[in-house]
Amino acid sequence: MARTPFRVEVLTPEGEVFNDEVEMLSTRTGVGSIGVLANHSPLLALLEPTELRLHRSEGDIVAFAQAEGYLQVGGNHALVLVQEAVPADQLDRAALQERVREADETLQRGEQETEEWRTAERSKRRAEAFLAMGEGH
């Protein structure tokens, strides 16, 4: 069954990653998974590292490893603002494992609740989420 398309933009600090019409967007917020269709109620949500799935049609899905960020929905438009968005087919498992190792080292030697410690914690959580996503593709 065809759904009404709506515009989705995915932006990172480096620039635009995706800008096209889709039939559905699915991701994970701080309170759970969410699917967004056209005419969705206005929404502002905090995003967790996960797989961002953009359904152009039933069989055409664009997938990204999505870092933490924000989702804003309104007026048949969704804006995904994230620290990082990597196409699923471009995930580098070795580089992600190295990010986890480096973060672990920082967490073990660092003082808890410092900015360096919090940054390492976010980096580890993001890399682990990306690794989990890579296992499914």
Q: Is the pTM of this model over 0.75?
A: yes
pLDDT value, residue 103 = 86
Degrees, nearest 5: CA angle 137-16-39 = 80
109: domain range? 91-135
Structure confidence by residue, pLDDT tens digits, 28-40: 998 999 999 999 9
Average pLDDT of the chain, as a whole number: 90
pLDDT value, residue 127 = 86
Category of 106 on φ-ψ map: left (φ > 0), alpha (ψ -120 to 50) or beta = alpha
Q: Which of 81, 27, 21, 92 is nearest to 57 (CA)?
A: 21
Q: Tell whether 95 is covered by a domain.
A: yes
Q: Give yes or no: residues 58 and 13 share one domain.
A: yes
Structure confidence by residue, pLDDT tens digits, 76-129: 999 999 999 999 888 888 888 898 888 888 888 877 778 888 888 888 888 888
Q: Give yes or no: residues 37 and 68 share one domain.
A: yes
